[in-house]
Structure 1
Amino acid sequence: MSKRLVNILVPLISVILGLIVGALVMIFSGYDPVAGYTALWNGIFGDMYTIGETIRQITPYILAGLAVAFAFRTGLFNIGVEGQLIVGWFAAAYVGIAFEGASKFVHLPLALIAAALAGALWGFIPGLLKAKFKVHEVIVTIMMNYVALHTTNALVKTVSDGGDNTGKIFPSASLRSEFLENMTDFSRLHLGIFIALAMVAVMWFILEKTTRGFELKAVGLNHHASDYAGMNVDKNIILAMVISGAFAGLGGAMEALGTFEYASVKGGFTGIGFDGIAVALLGANTPLGVIFGATLFGSLKYGALNMPNEAGIPVEIVSIVIAIIIFFVASGYVIRLFIERLSKNKEAK
């Protein structure tokens, strides 16, 4: 069996197994899985409004998935995507309210650049510690998540003079589009989806078509061999975390400039950055695969909101079903081993 076919089968089998076990959970809990999954489907594709909201939900997942996948491809495990996304959110919102009367062609790109730079800075710190002092990036990035959450909360309160909100961003920095809103019955679908898809192309181009991308992947595969070949290992480790953080920061900008159009004090993490890990794993850490993984997660997150309303399934059961699907997605490596072993047995016979 070809590697490409295995890469296609693994996520499909993972999702199917997750849906089957999720159905069993609903049956044993006394609920109708057919009604539950019908409600899920309607919550995703029921009308133009739900389709627009589903795509809007998918947008930050694409960028979070790209951030995790890029780090994976360069041999790093970036658990700090959540924190990088939060600081990107704040930076975009701050720029969005700081320049009144600016042209949209200047203001919006400036807000997006600020978000990317903020995320890149939050990625630079663990990258530097990893490169210079050999501090494991998992530990540093996890701690940086909490630093990001509480730092941005403090900054929001400072900027808003003790309030919980920085105020609504100016229209010149908004990603909202009247055309997209009208086309989807006034959903919150915004232009960010095109930025996210453009970043998919950017990641592919960097890794597959540039010398720097080749070096980044080589360093990820073997530090010692890369160093022997004359590559600057430390520089590439830092650069990988910076680029990964920039993707995550842009994910925060999608929320700040498109979905909510403000920054507020957060009582906890958004969860998007952590879900980005599963998105990247489901997509086999490839740019196109991330689109598939983000589509699954975004659809489940938004579509599941309809299950309590239409099918009467409690939110707790819905959360269990989603968690089971994620569990099987994360267990894709085991499924891959099973498929490969089955294929070898058939070839041996």
Structure 2
Amino acid sequence: MIAATDDAVRESAGYLFAAPTDFFAAVWEAVWGAYTALFRGAVYNDRVDDFATQIRPLTETLKYSGPLIAAGLGVGIGFRAGLFNIGGRGQMLLAGAAAGYVGFKLDLPMIVHLPLAIVVGMAVAALWGGLAGLLKARTGAHEVITTIMLNWVAYYLVLWALKQSYLLQTPGSANPKSLPMKDTAILPDLLGDRFNLHLGFLLAIVAVAVMWWVMNRSTLGYRIRAVGESPTAARVAGIDVGRTYVTVMLIAGALVGLAGVNQTLGTTTSGVTPDLDAGIGFDAITVALLGRSRPLGILAAGLLFGALKAGGFTMQTSENISVDLVLVVQSLIVLFLAAPPLVRAIFRLPSKEAK
């Protein structure tokens, strides 16, 4: 794909048989240039002399990875319970809006203000996710449908609140945007003012550690895994499947809400906007799939996607490669993840479990 979108490659393809070395050289230059640009934009920039500038790409990757990891955990725990939580956008929007309201409205010392904003944001998102779990448990309503619809309900609720000056809108402004966060409610920088990496990344790492323990060392994790393997067998074994669904969606909402809090209090502290989720709610699905819904796998997948996002801009500016290529790569990842079971179904091949 990189070669096909490169002007030099297409030009040399016109006389491929007359000078094939020109074509292959152009392909190599295009691909090598793209990947080195990706590395410079995501990990280490060797074209500058200042060490702080050299490692800045890595800090950008970590910054982008934080909300992806948190939201991926929220989607992943749903997968482990057999639930498809695609309500990440709505949960992030409500969490960001709630945390933002606390962040710019209240006057408190930082030791109280920041934790309060984080907890309120996560709590609101947890309740929003728990609503889908309650509908699933009580009525059997499919979580895919309910979370999709709740995404839009959340979006228009936040949009409405951003048009009300007594709620989120900046007084005297016609734009749907809130006041900026107060300094006492902003996630502090981890490496100083020269870098954008903030405490949100460490919170995501803590969430990974907590979820690893919950899923692998706790009775709650055992119940979640049991329900995900077979709700019927879990019910026969005495597990309350409905309660487990509600619990899972509460936890999932809180984790996705952490991503929304990360955005509002760390990345976009200039104010709450209707697009604060930045597509992370849907990218988290791919992160969870690639990480096999395991906390450590989601951590690795989140770092990869953060690197793709950070390095994609450098690819575009230095090599004239469209940043949309990163979206194509993410889509291909999902395709390849889905390919093995699809191929087995088409050709009626035995599954790994059957072997």
**Normalized against structure 1, the TM-score is what?**
0.83
- Quote the offset at 1:92 in angstroms: 1.0
- Quote the offset at 1:239 in angstroms: 0.6
Q: Which deviates the most, 136-145 or 263-272?
A: 263-272
Partner deviation per Cα, 1:53-104 (whole Å, 9 max, x = no partner)? 111111100011101101001110001112111111111111111211x121
Q: Which runs of structure 2 are paired with 1:1-349 in the superposition (5 Å)?
A: 21-23=1-3, 26=6, 32-45=30-43, 46=45, 47-100=54-107, 102-158=108-164, 159=167, 160=169, 161=171, 162-177=174-189, 180-182=191-193, 186-266=194-274, 270-313=278-321, 315=322, 318-335=323-340
What amino acid is the match of 2:85? N
CA contact (8 A) 1:176 1:188 kept: no
- In structure 1, list runs of 5 or more residues that go unmatched: 1-20, 345-349
Distance 1:201 1:29, change over 3 A: farther
CA distance in 2, matches of 1:238, 1:321: 35
CA contact (8 A) 1:50 1:187 kept: no
Distance 1:29 1:166, change over 3 A: farther
- Quote the offset at 1:120 in angstroms: 0.5
CA distance in 2, matches of 1:29, 1:80: 42
In structure 1, the partner of 2:19 is none
- Quote the offset at 1:187 in angstroms: 2.2
Q: Which deviates the most, 121-130 or 45-54?
A: 45-54
CA contact (8 A) 1:156 1:263 kept: no
Partner deviation per Cα, 1:285-337 (whole Å, 9 max, x = no partner)? 10000011101111111210112211122x3xx31354134313442243589
Q: Which deviates the most, 221-230 or 292-301?
A: 221-230
Distance 1:228 1:174, change over 3 A: same
SS of structure 2 residue aligned to 1:90: helix
CA contact (8 A) 2:312 2:326 kept: no
- Quote the offset at 1:172 in angstroms: 1.1
RMSD: 2.4
CA distance in 2, matches of 1:58, 1:29: 35
Distance 1:269 1:108, change over 3 A: closer
What amino acid is the match of 1:166? S
Distance 1:324 1:128, change over 3 A: same
CA distance in 2, matches of 1:202, 1:331: 30
**Normalized against structure 2, the TM-score is what?**
0.82
- Quote the offset at 1:49 in angstroms: 2.0
Partner deviation per Cα, 1:235-282 (whole Å, 9 max, x = no partner)? 111110110000000100001111111443326962101010110111
CA contact (8 A) 2:96 2:276 kept: no
CA distance in 2, matches of 1:266, 1:333: 32
CA distance in 2, matches of 1:262, 1:134: 41
List 4+ stretches of structure 1 deviating above 4 A: 21-31, 335-339
CA contact (8 A) 1:165 1:264 kept: yes
SS of structure 2 residue aligned to 1:169: coil
Distance 1:268 1:195, change over 3 A: closer
CA contact (8 A) 2:132 2:143 kept: yes
SS of structure 2 residue aligned to 1:153: helix
Ranked by relative contact order (alpha carbons within 8 Å, sequence separation 6 or more), the top structure is 1
- Quote the offset at 1:145 in angstroms: 1.1
CA distance in 1, matches of 2:59, 2:213: 28
Q: What percentage of residue pairs aligned between the two structures are identical?
A: 36
Distance 1:268 1:85, change over 3 A: closer
What amino acid is the match of 2:79? F
SS of structure 1 residue aligned to 2:188: coil
CA contact (8 A) 1:108 1:172 kept: yes
CA contact (8 A) 1:281 1:330 kept: no
CA distance in 1, matches of 2:79, 2:72: 10
- Quote the offset at 1:338 in angstroms: 8.3
CA distance in 2, matches of 1:226, 1:217: 9
